[in-house]
A and B are shown apart, each in its own frame.
Chain A
Amino acid sequence: MPFAPSKKKSKRSKIVVGTVTLTSMMDMFTAILFFLLASYSAQGDILTVDPRFKLPMSTATQPPRLRLIVQATPDDIMVEGRRVSGVKEALREGGFLIKPLFDELNEQAKKSEFIAAKNKAVKFTGETVIQGDKTIPFALLERIMFTCGQAGYNTISLAVTSRGE
């Protein structure tokens, strides 16, 4: 005959000491940490992109360099963050030259040349990068490019969001 279950045992309160299992959380954290470290870039971002406009996606991976920035949102044209002209006015004008942009670029070129004359380490290279919203028409891009070329900025790059690795 089996023993009768002890009465004491059934009355004994079952206190379970609550320890949280941290191992799985540790696993998760380690995975996240490695992922973040892998996608971490120590060099930072030279181009700061205005949240008002979206750059197009591209497979290009060439990193940006420090250059004169011309921005084109659906409404405004800006040089180094300062508005110089509206898009509508720019497109309404006949011809390819956007006058206010041209004046501003000339001003910037003069500044750079002035600095280059005083400081041998600095050279005026005529490099500019165009940050355009992805909705702007080619006609506008073309006009901006033409104006840049006229103002002495012959090396033009287009800024994009890299989808590549």
Chain B
Amino acid sequence: MNRVTEKHLSRFQMALAKIKGNRLAQACLILLACLYLGAIFADVLSAYRYDDEDRNYSYCPPMMVRIFDKNGRLTRPYVPGVYFNFDENHKRVYHSDPFKKYPIKIFHKGYKYKLFGLIPCQRHLFGVDAPGRFYLWGADSRGRDLYSRILYGARISLSIGLIGVVISFSIGLLVGGVAGYYGGKVDNILMRLCEMFMMIPGFYLMLALMVVVPANFNSLQIYLSIVVILSFIGWASLARVIRGMSISLREREYVLAAKAMGLSDLRIILRHILPHTMSYSIVAITLSIPGYILGESALSLIGLGIQDPVPSWGNLLSEAMGIVRIKFAPWILLPGLFIFLTVICFNVIGDALRDCLDPTLETERK
């Protein structure tokens, strides 16, 4: 009699199996993983500190790594030295100096940092000895290495989405769960509150709130205020959907059974109602992360977000606001490419997850 039927694949395992079949989503997942790893190991991967500037290299173009010396012989990879003169428009024009070469050293000893904030370390993945400077992706107006700055900027731009989503989804799930579970007056009050937030266009609300933030905040404080403001705006739409779901979930018999076992309302909401909204929430979370990344970028772009010299993809891009700069130094648009890639990746993965987790969509397709 005590026969237990064979183990079924869990929902999560099924989703994973389906993602394996989706090449595009897989590629995006790998790309995202690379970006996040880049952000985590920014210290090691970067060649210079994000605020290490050298005005002699203002808008220095990306340097090509060379493996042939001036006589055409194969040597270890090096970058040539550069010098500049001014053209008729008093614009700097950089030339490579064939007589100076700076070999690229793997695990080069560069500036000091603490790995994960703990381990003192000085090695970097690559670098060249002073007085040479190596700009893999070019330099900005103050001669700071764009490659290093993009890596450091990824820390802010990529983490803001995750942290923001965690905050806004905790609020959204709880408010939606409570509103749907209790119904009546509680529901009414909470939902009208949600509508008040949804009524104001997000970007303007964000701007208005950002203005309240004191100007003397340091970058960490600004970062935190951005996260709080973004999640403050984001929770309402989720709360509405979760509320609708929990209205139907509270009628399930296991909720009655849990009540009959004397569990508290909060516990029933957390244990027996919200887990059933997970397949929706996971998709919604993935699809809303780009919103936070773009929100931060937009704020930083117009100068209300992260302040120089601390880089974020948004404020790196603010250098590219001007046609002349883009024309003569197109590489400063690179952070935009990274924003674009990240947003696309999250969207593709979100779509793939929806295909996996939403059974209704699947039957429609077949």
The answer to whether A and B belong to the same complex is no
- Chain A residues within CB distance 8 Å of chain B: none
- Chain B residues within CB distance 8 Å of chain A: none
